[in-house]
Every structure is written in structure tokens, then in C-alpha cells.
Structure 1
Amino acid sequence: MTSSINMSLKGQVAVVTGAAGGLGNLACRTFAEAGADIVLVGRRTEALQEGVQQMQALGVRASSVAADVTDSKSVISMVAEVKAQYGRIDILFNNAGTTSPKPLLELTDDDWHQVMDTSATGSFYTARAVAPMMMAAGSGRILNMGSILSLRGMSHRIAYSAAKAAVANLTRALAFELGPHGITVNALAPTVIVTDLNRELVRTQPELYGDVLRRTAMGRLGKPEDIAGALLFLVSPAAGFVTGQILCVDGGYTAG
């Protein structure tokens, strides 16, 4: 007996937060190439509109909604707008995040709250807002952006490590609560991915990433294309029985 592996997203609507950035744009393209209609969410409206045009060029319906994931009212308004436009949300990718790479004694209250509110609280706000629509449909995919620091700590990444650890356990808890409604909740935990946003920093300050390189079995940092397959799998029908998981795409960093 043979079975086909269904990775198609045709007919589905995917909402991607933090869509103006490099990995957000990658996720949008990955989902669009699999057939999903795309809603790009973020604060940089010009970059979002550029993304919309890129997605439309791939032959799918696409639009953008300006929203701040750290503001629950903004998130609720965003979800209402998507519902009015598309009538459904099948996929939520909580990609919005930020970091503040400082030592403990230099980390301010504002630094801490900005990182925690964007990654952890923002993921909670968006999951809570889309859940009723998914529950009514009896299906859905929620994918959170974690990190290798969801599982390991790192010097000068205190707020980020704490936020991504919170995302990991938020993922597990949501999986239990939403599973009976046909909704899967997982997290992607990549290593450092080199994008246009950090490429110059990687080149000029390699010491910032020395520990990651030393502990990575494959001996290099990640590239955007390294995570595309995992992104697609976790939101596709092929992952219908996968939930509550933190999938590391890290070249072996967490294997040691």
C-alpha cells in the first residue's frame, strides 16, 4: 500500500507576522509557492507592500495588514480584517521577534520587555485571536518561531533566551488545549540564519557567533533555504499528526 505525501497549501490562507523581514518574507514565498493565499502582517508598511507584490507575482492572492503584535487590540483588529477579506485563517506563522544582545548589567527594563513582548506575548496574542476561527473550522496550523535558544542559554542573549524558552512551552501548552479541535501547534527552532539583516554583522563581528559555530556539527551558520522545507512541512497536511513539537533546524547545534 502506498500513500501520497500532501504538502500542498492550495486553497488555504496563511497569516505571517513579522513578514517584512528576511525570514518572514521567506515563509511567505514558501507558503505561496505551495499555493496558499498570504496575509503579510507587520509594522513596516512599505516593505509589506513590496512583499505583497512579490506574492502576487507567484500567482496567489496576497494583502498586507499593519499591526503591532505587542498590542492585543491591534492583533484583534488585524484578525478581524483578515476574516472580513478572506473568511478564514488556516495557517498562522508567529514570526515576529526582536533581540537585544547585551550583558546582564546593561540590559534595561525596556530591552527586556521589548524582546519578551514581541516574541512571547505577541505569539500568545495572535494565537488567542485566531483560535476561535480555527476551532469553528475544526482545523488549523499554528507555527511559532522559536530558536536554538529555546533549548539552550547563551551569554549576552538573556532576554532572547528567556523569550524563546517561553515560546517553546507556550507551543506545548497550546498543543494540548487546541489539539481536540483539530489544530496543531508547533515551533521551529533554527540556528543563526544569515540574512540581509545580519549578513554584515556576521562578516564584521564573527566573534559574536564563534560559540555557535564551534558547537555546530556541520560547521557553518544557517541559510534561509535551510529552513524552508521545515516551514512548509509543519504547516502542511503532511504534518497533521505532529503537534507540540520543537523542530530544531540547527546543523547539529543541539545534538551535543
Structure 2
Amino acid sequence: MNNPSFPGIFSLRGQVALITGGGTGIGRAIAGAMHAAGAHVVLAGRREAELAAAAAELGERASIAVHDVTELDAAPALVARITRETGPVTCLVNNAGINMKKPAVETTSPEFEAMLRTHVLGSHALTRAVAPGMIERKSGSVLFIASMASLFGIPGVIAYTAAKSAYVGMVKCYSTELSPHGVRVNAIAPGWIETAMSRKAMEGDPARRQKIIGRTPMAKFGAPADIGWAAVYLASPAASFVTGVTLPVDGGASIGF
């Protein structure tokens, strides 16, 4: 962009953003914000009906791709199809994930492996699939959606913590390797966000909800759009000199007492 100025500096016009887990929750909010900023968004996930409903709500410049991130060998074909049908992927958002609440000593090796396959290996497979094209074009952005579990200990989520902590290391390594080629790699670490999943987790446990609010300096849950607009910033020309960063969007939870 020549002589960028506000608001164009935050525009994603001309970009093709592939967002895993894009049909619901935080992924849907990221898709909505990127779409509003001008990108064509490709919502990827396992449940076609949810993806189709989200894309229909967004309208033009929104399409879907039924894809299971744990099918690692399918990543290159997915990226090739999107490139053929929509255009080269200029922004990848590794958002798809699963969670499991269980004491560490009760977490089995298969459960741990499933968590790592979904988050770590799944995101690596897709990043590896989009990176060559980005390197060739000397431009691109990859975002990982990390977690508060990447930053401090949370009981009962050992496998999830390991997977989300791996994202922080992956961002550092990927950014070191790819940034010299014009490809930026960053992460967002959401705090406690008001989603259907979080509401379900809090059902019947008002003490847990109050504990979260009590340790968050802004004394509230965030909105999914808070993560969406942070993703727009990191993918936009406004962040052209930002790489290797894990950005907490958490109402101060990671630094408050």
C-alpha cells in the first residue's frame, strides 16, 4: 500500500483469509471482523451446516470449506482448492480447537495426543501448506489463537495447556523463519470471552464466574468481537512491523491481581 493512511491502513481488501473453526464462537467473530474489513473469508470446519449458516449471514466474500484439521494430509489439497476457487491464501487463522477439563493425573495418553493433534499438528499442517505461496509472494500473515493457558497455570486442563503453550513457541520459531520472506506470524491470547462454550462451562458454577471476573482488572468477560478486531489489526498493513508477538486480549487478566 502506497502512503497508507487511516482508515485504509487497517483494510484487508484483496486478502483471502482462511479461518479454521470459523463457523462459531471466536472463529466466527474473527471471520466477521475480517469480512467487515474487506477480506474474502473462507470458513473451515467439520460441521457444514454451521459453516453455511455463518457464511450466508456474512453474504458476499464469504465461502466455506469442510475440513477436519486432524486430517493432516488433507491440508495441501484444501489450500490448493481455495487458491484455485478464490485466490491465494494471504492470511491463515489457526483457531480450530478442542478442550477437555480433567485432572492431570487422570488424563490419558490418547486424550493428550488428540489435543496435540488438533491444535499443534493441525495448525502446523495448514501453516506448512500456505507458507510456500506466501514466501513466493513475499507477503502474508499467520495467526494462532492461543489462550490464557499459554501464559499461566490453570488447573484441570493439562493437555489443553500444553497445546496452547506450544503455540507460543511455534509463533517464535515460525516468525524467525518466515519473517525474512515478508511473512508475519503472531498469536492472540484471548482472556475469558463470553461465548456459548464459556456460558455452558459456567452453568451452575457462579463461584467460578465470579473468580474469573475478580481476577480480571476490567471486571468483565470480553466479547468475541474483541478478538476479531485484534485479528484484523495483526493481519492488516497497520501491523506491518509486528511479528513474533503473542498479544493478550484479556481485560488485564494476565497482568492483574
Give the TM-score category using the shorter length: over 0.9
Instruction: Please state how far the C-alpha of 1:203 moved relative to its aligned partner.
Output: 3.9
1:159-238 matches, within 5 Å, as: 159-238=159-238
CA-CA distance at 1:3 after TM superposition: 6.5
Q: Over aligned residues, Cα RMSD in angstroms?
A: 1.6
Q: Aligned match of 1:32 in 30, 35, 38?
A: 35
Alignment correspondent of 2:83: 83
After the TM superposition, which parts of structure 1 deviate over 6 Å for at least 4 consecutive aligned residues?
none
Alignment gaps of 5+ in structure 2: none
- CA-CA distance at 1:116 after TM superposition: 1.5
| Cα drift, residue 153 of structure 1 | 1.3
The farther-off stretch of 89-98 and 79-88 is: 79-88
Q: What is the correspondence of 1:136-151 to structure 2 with a 5 Å cutoff? A: 136-151=136-151
Cα displacement (A) at 1:55: 2.1
Cα distance, 1:9 vs. partner?
A: 0.6
What is the CA distance between 1:157 and its match in structure 2? Answer: 1.2
Q: Per-residue displacement from partner, 1:74-125 (whole Å, max 9, x unpaired)?
A: 2122111111112311111110011111111221223212222111221111
Query: 2:251 matched to which residue of 1?
Result: 251
User: How many Å separate the matches in 1 of 2:122 and 2:63?
Assistant: 21
Q: 2:49 aligns with which of 46, 52, 62?
A: 46
- Corresponding position of 2:21: 18
- Separation in structure 1 between the aligned mates of residue 211 and residue 102 of structure 2, nearest angstrom: 16
Q: Deviations over 1:152-176 (max 9, x none)?
A: 1111011111111100110111000
Letter in 1 for 2:133: M
Query: Does the 8 Å contact 1:66/1:78 carry over to 2?
Result: no
SS in 1 for 2:254: helix
Q: Is the 8 A contact 1:194 1:202 kept in 2?
A: no
Q: CA deviation at 1:200?
A: 3.4
Give 1:254's aligned amino acid. Answer: S
Structure 1: 5+ residue stretches without partners: none
Alignment check: 8 A CA contact 1:189 1:250 kept = yes
Using the size of structure 2 for normalisation, the TM-score is 0.93
- Name the counterpart of 1:239: 239
